[in-house]
Structure 1
Amino acid sequence: MVRYLPIFIALALMVYCIVDVAQTQGDVVRRAPRWLWLTVIVVVPIVGPICWLVLGRPTRNSGGSGGTTPPRYPDDDPDFLRRL
Protein backbone atom coordinates (compact mmCIF):
# COMPACT_ATOMS: atom_id res chain seq x y z
CA MET A 1 0.00 0.00 0.00
CA VAL A 2 2.85 2.40 0.78
CA ARG A 3 4.25 2.11 -2.73
CA TYR A 4 0.96 3.44 -4.14
CA LEU A 5 0.94 6.47 -1.86
CA PRO A 6 2.95 8.75 -4.22
CA ILE A 7 0.51 7.94 -7.03
CA PHE A 8 -2.47 8.82 -4.84
CA ILE A 9 -0.82 12.05 -3.70
CA ALA A 10 0.03 13.06 -7.29
CA LEU A 11 -3.53 12.27 -8.42
CA ALA A 12 -5.08 14.22 -5.53
CA LEU A 13 -2.80 17.20 -6.24
CA MET A 14 -3.72 17.09 -9.92
CA VAL A 15 -7.46 16.98 -9.19
CA TYR A 16 -7.16 19.84 -6.69
CA CYS A 17 -5.27 22.01 -9.19
CA ILE A 18 -7.70 21.24 -12.03
CA VAL A 19 -10.63 22.29 -9.85
CA ASP A 20 -8.73 25.39 -8.72
CA VAL A 21 -7.99 26.42 -12.32
CA ALA A 22 -11.61 25.81 -13.29
CA GLN A 23 -12.85 28.07 -10.47
CA THR A 24 -10.40 30.87 -11.21
CA GLN A 25 -12.03 33.93 -12.77
CA GLY A 26 -10.84 35.30 -16.09
CA ASP A 27 -9.56 33.67 -19.25
CA VAL A 28 -5.94 34.69 -18.68
CA VAL A 29 -4.31 33.86 -15.37
CA ARG A 30 -0.81 35.21 -14.71
CA ARG A 31 -0.01 35.81 -18.39
CA ALA A 32 -1.11 32.35 -19.58
CA PRO A 33 -4.55 31.20 -20.72
CA ARG A 34 -6.50 28.84 -18.50
CA TRP A 35 -6.49 26.12 -21.15
CA LEU A 36 -2.68 26.18 -21.14
CA TRP A 37 -2.57 25.81 -17.36
CA LEU A 38 -4.97 22.86 -17.57
CA THR A 39 -2.85 21.25 -20.26
CA VAL A 40 0.36 21.66 -18.24
CA ILE A 41 -1.30 20.24 -15.11
CA VAL A 42 -2.57 17.15 -16.92
CA VAL A 43 0.42 16.47 -19.21
CA VAL A 44 3.18 17.02 -16.64
CA PRO A 45 1.84 15.17 -13.57
CA ILE A 46 3.98 16.33 -10.63
CA VAL A 47 5.65 19.48 -11.96
CA GLY A 48 2.49 20.90 -13.58
CA PRO A 49 0.40 21.17 -10.40
CA ILE A 50 3.38 22.52 -8.45
CA CYS A 51 3.95 25.18 -11.13
CA TRP A 52 0.27 26.15 -10.90
CA LEU A 53 0.44 26.49 -7.11
CA VAL A 54 3.69 28.48 -7.16
CA LEU A 55 3.58 30.46 -10.41
CA GLY A 56 0.06 30.44 -11.80
CA ARG A 57 -2.36 30.78 -8.95
CA PRO A 58 -3.64 34.35 -8.64
CA THR A 59 -3.01 36.14 -5.39
CA ARG A 60 -5.80 37.48 -3.21
CA ASN A 61 -4.93 41.09 -4.01
CA SER A 62 -4.91 40.63 -7.78
CA GLY A 63 -8.55 41.62 -8.19
CA GLY A 64 -9.37 44.05 -10.96
CA SER A 65 -11.06 46.60 -8.69
CA GLY A 66 -7.95 48.05 -7.09
CA GLY A 67 -7.98 45.89 -3.97
CA THR A 68 -11.53 46.61 -2.83
CA THR A 69 -13.85 43.66 -3.09
CA PRO A 70 -17.62 43.81 -2.87
CA PRO A 71 -19.21 42.46 0.29
CA ARG A 72 -19.93 38.76 0.21
CA TYR A 73 -22.94 38.80 2.51
CA PRO A 74 -25.81 41.27 2.92
CA ASP A 75 -24.82 41.96 6.53
CA ASP A 76 -21.47 43.31 5.32
CA ASP A 77 -23.03 45.68 2.77
CA PRO A 78 -23.74 49.14 4.28
CA ASP A 79 -26.09 50.06 1.39
CA PHE A 80 -28.18 46.98 2.02
CA LEU A 81 -28.37 47.71 5.74
CA ARG A 82 -29.42 51.33 5.09
CA ARG A 83 -32.36 50.13 2.98
CA LEU A 84 -33.73 47.97 5.80
Structure 2
Amino acid sequence: MLRYLPFLLVLAVWVYAFIDCLNTPEEDVKGLPKVVWIIVVLLFGEVLVGPLAWLIAGKVRRAPARWTAPDDNPEFLASLEDRKRDLGEEA
Protein backbone atom coordinates (compact mmCIF):
# COMPACT_ATOMS: atom_id res chain seq x y z
CA MET A 1 0.00 0.00 0.00
CA LEU A 2 2.82 2.38 0.82
CA ARG A 3 4.23 2.09 -2.70
CA TYR A 4 0.98 3.59 -4.09
CA LEU A 5 1.16 6.64 -1.86
CA PRO A 6 3.27 8.82 -4.21
CA PHE A 7 0.92 8.06 -7.10
CA LEU A 8 -2.11 8.90 -4.97
CA LEU A 9 -0.55 12.18 -3.79
CA VAL A 10 0.26 13.23 -7.36
CA LEU A 11 -3.26 12.31 -8.43
CA ALA A 12 -4.78 14.28 -5.55
CA VAL A 13 -2.76 17.43 -6.36
CA TRP A 14 -3.59 17.05 -10.04
CA VAL A 15 -7.33 16.71 -9.42
CA TYR A 16 -7.34 19.57 -6.89
CA ALA A 17 -5.51 21.93 -9.26
CA PHE A 18 -7.76 21.00 -12.18
CA ILE A 19 -10.97 21.60 -10.22
CA ASP A 20 -9.56 24.80 -8.71
CA CYS A 21 -8.64 26.04 -12.18
CA LEU A 22 -12.12 25.26 -13.50
CA ASN A 23 -13.84 27.02 -10.60
CA THR A 24 -11.69 30.15 -10.59
CA PRO A 25 -13.38 33.15 -12.25
CA GLU A 26 -11.70 34.47 -15.38
CA GLU A 27 -10.86 37.81 -13.73
CA ASP A 28 -8.86 36.03 -10.99
CA VAL A 29 -6.61 34.18 -13.47
CA LYS A 30 -3.25 35.77 -14.14
CA GLY A 31 -0.46 35.18 -16.61
CA LEU A 32 -2.28 33.10 -19.20
CA PRO A 33 -5.89 32.72 -20.31
CA LYS A 34 -7.91 30.25 -18.26
CA VAL A 35 -8.19 27.77 -21.15
CA VAL A 36 -4.41 27.66 -21.48
CA TRP A 37 -4.04 27.07 -17.74
CA ILE A 38 -6.46 24.14 -17.96
CA ILE A 39 -4.42 22.64 -20.79
CA VAL A 40 -1.16 23.15 -18.87
CA VAL A 41 -2.59 21.47 -15.77
CA LEU A 42 -3.86 18.53 -17.81
CA LEU A 43 -0.76 18.04 -19.96
CA PHE A 44 1.87 18.43 -17.25
CA GLY A 45 -0.07 16.90 -14.36
CA GLU A 46 1.84 13.64 -14.18
CA VAL A 47 5.06 15.39 -13.24
CA LEU A 48 3.30 18.00 -11.04
CA VAL A 49 4.71 20.89 -13.08
CA GLY A 50 1.33 22.05 -14.38
CA PRO A 51 -0.63 21.79 -11.13
CA LEU A 52 2.11 23.40 -9.08
CA ALA A 53 2.50 26.21 -11.61
CA TRP A 54 -1.25 26.84 -11.40
CA LEU A 55 -1.31 26.78 -7.60
CA ILE A 56 1.72 29.05 -7.25
CA ALA A 57 1.41 31.49 -10.16
CA GLY A 58 -1.92 30.95 -11.86
CA LYS A 59 -4.39 32.95 -9.86
CA VAL A 60 -4.63 36.22 -8.03
CA ARG A 61 -4.37 35.86 -4.27
CA ARG A 62 -6.88 38.01 -2.43
CA ALA A 63 -6.79 38.81 1.24
CA PRO A 64 -9.75 37.29 3.04
CA ALA A 65 -12.56 39.69 3.83
CA ARG A 66 -12.22 41.14 7.27
CA TRP A 67 -15.05 40.30 9.61
CA THR A 68 -16.98 43.25 11.03
CA ALA A 69 -18.95 43.13 14.23
CA PRO A 70 -22.65 43.86 13.69
CA ASP A 71 -22.58 47.05 15.75
CA ASP A 72 -19.75 48.38 13.56
CA ASN A 73 -21.43 47.48 10.26
CA PRO A 74 -23.27 50.47 8.77
CA GLU A 75 -25.47 48.26 6.58
CA PHE A 76 -26.62 46.25 9.58
CA LEU A 77 -27.33 49.39 11.60
CA ALA A 78 -29.32 50.87 8.71
CA SER A 79 -31.37 47.67 8.46
CA LEU A 80 -32.14 47.94 12.19
CA GLU A 81 -33.30 51.52 11.73
CA ASP A 82 -35.53 50.45 8.83
CA ARG A 83 -36.97 47.62 10.89
CA LYS A 84 -37.52 49.90 13.87
CA ARG A 85 -39.30 52.42 11.62
CA ASP A 86 -41.47 49.68 10.09
CA LEU A 87 -42.46 48.32 13.50
CA GLY A 88 -43.20 51.82 14.79
CA GLU A 89 -45.53 52.53 11.84
CA GLU A 90 -47.41 49.25 12.29
CA ALA A 91 -48.00 49.64 16.03
What's the TM-score once normalised by structure 2's chain length?
0.65
**Cα separation, 1, equivalents of 2:73 and 2:37:** 35
**Residues 27 and 59 from structure 1, CA distance in 2 versus in 1: closer, same or farther, beyond 3 angstroms?**
closer
More helix by share: 2
Query: What is the RMSD of the two structures over their aligned residues, measured on CA atoms?
Result: 2.6
Could you say if the C-alpha distance between residues 27 and 57 of structure 1 is closer, same or farther in structure 2, counting changes exceeding 3 Å? closer
C-alpha contact (below 8 Å) 1:27/1:33 kept by paired residues: no
- Residue in 2 aligned with 1:40? 40
Q: Which moved more, 1:26-35 or 1:52-61?
A: 26-35
Residues 3-82 of structure 1: pairs in structure 2 closer than 5 A:
3-26=3-26, 29-45=29-45, 46-61=48-63, 75=70, 78-82=74-78
* Distance verdict in 2 for CA 1:77–1:16, change over 3 Å: farther
- Whether 2:79 is the aligned partner of 1:83: answer yes
The higher radius of gyration belongs to 2
Unaligned stretches of 5+ in structure 1?
Answer: 62-68
Structure 2: 5+ residue runs without aligned partners? 81-91
Paired residues, what number?
75
User: Which has the larger displacement, 52-61 or 40-49?
Assistant: 52-61
Q: Normalized per residue, which structure has more strand?
A: 1
In structure 2, what is the Cα distance between the partners aligned to 1:77 and 1:23?
30
Q: Which runs of 4+ in 1 moved over 2 A?
A: 75-78
